Copies of this chain bind each other. A is one copy, B any other.
Amino acid sequence: MGQIIIHEVGLRDGLQMEKQTVPTEKKIEWADALIAAGVDILQLGSFVHPTKVPQMADTDALFRHYQEPGRRPANVILAGLVLNEKGLERGMACGVDMFCMGVSASETHSRKNTGMSIAEATERIIAMGKQTVAFGKRAQVSVQSAFGCGFEGYVPPERVLGIVRKFLDAGLKNISLADTAGHATPEAVEQLFGAIHRLDPSAECTCHFHNTYALGIANCRAAMNAGVQYFESSIAGLGGCPHTKVAGGNVCTEDFVHYLHRIGIRADIHLDRLLETASSVAQYFARDLPGMVYKSGPIPTPAPVH
């Protein structure tokens, strides 16, 4: 198993689901805490039209904040989600290190989100990915709805692998499979990531799971077994829809890190800082968030000796 890399997406995938807009100063406070905790990649926001997703209106400002000298350690990668060339342009102008972009493996989802077919969207994302690399930046290309779709249900693995093959052929090796609808099972995770590894052992794989059906960390563990190194997760398990009772947020960062610490991995990440941040986020939204360990407290380490 390679090094496990934590890619925190709460400020993007988490906050975009919230009705309540978070002030830029609050986002910076949480981002600073997450950086101090030692997350490897921090996704600060997405470059979408501010009238469409008002929660993301300050994405450029956030990146510009971290362009100032001394505002962040050199070893954190700041990532941003882009949907189109305009976003890429904005992100280049404000200092994004890593551009995340994706295609849905569901025709319905693709057309609803982008107005394009899968084939059209794939072509466009590949062009954007190549441009990103040409700019000297990191490009992460993802397949959304890779394990099933809320509209279409079953998504054939061959369709996902067809898109992945096109990414790899274009030299885009940082491949993410996103389980937008929460349909993944550990079995499907091992199958799909195993297939990508056979397609190209040099692919760098990222997984992005939602805990909608209680399989979030089980899927992460399956991904670890399948050689995935990059794990997208949200502080406090943000990312569910706050207007329903469904707590289908992203895999919770601090719960996942708590697990990693239990098995002796990534002891360099400061769990206490993550737990403080999760509590701060939950307090801000004034509701219980899906994370477990910020409520229970961690298992004491080192273990008490009898």
What B residues does A259 contact at CB under 8 A? 185, 213-215, 218
Residue from B183, B218, B293 within 8 A of A221 (CB atoms): B218
- Complex Cα gap A133–B151 (Å): 53
Mask: chain A, 255-294; 1 = CB below 8 Å from B; 0 = not? 1001100110000000000000000000000001001110
What B residues does A108 contact at CB under 8 A? 306
A217 at the B interface (CB under 8 A): yes
What B residues does A263 contact at CB under 8 A? 185, 187
Number of copies of this kind of chain in the complex: 2
- Complex Cα gap A42–B259 (Å): 31
Say yes or no: A295-B246 contact (C-beta < 8 A), given A218-B217, A221-B218, A255-B214: yes
Say yes or no: A296-B246 contact (C-beta < 8 A), given A152-B306, A154-B305, A218-B217: yes
B153–A245 CB distance below 8 A:
no
Mask: chain A, 186-202; 1 = CB below 8 Å from B; 0 = not? 11000000000000000
Say yes or no: A295-B247 contact (C-beta < 8 A), given A303-B154, A304-B153: yes
With both beta carbons as reference points, the residue of chain B lying nearest to A186 in the complex is identified as B221
B215–A148 CB distance below 8 A:
no
Since A182-B296, A214-B217, A214-B255 are in contact, a sample of 17 more A-B pairs with Cβ atoms closer than 8 Å, ordered by chain A residue number, is A108-B306, A152-B306, A153-B299, A153-B302, A154-B303, A185-B263, A213-B255, A214-B216, A214-B291, A217-B218, A221-B221, A244-B295, A245-B295, A246-B295, A246-B296, A247-B292, A248-B296
The 8 closest A-B pairs by CB, nearest first: A153-B303, A154-B303, A153-B304, A218-B218, A214-B255, A246-B296, A214-B292, A152-B306
21 A–B contacts from the bound complex (CB under 8 Å): A151-B304, A152-B306, A153-B302, A154-B304, A185-B259, A185-B262, A186-B221, A213-B258, A213-B259, A213-B292, A213-B296, A213-B299, A214-B216, A214-B255, A214-B259, A214-B293, A218-B218, A221-B222, A244-B295, A247-B295, A248-B292
Which residues does A use to contact B, with CB under 8 Å?
106-108, 148, 151-154, 181-183, 185-187, 211-218, 220-222, 244-248, 252, 255, 258-259, 262-263, 288, 291-293, 295-296, 299-300, 302-306
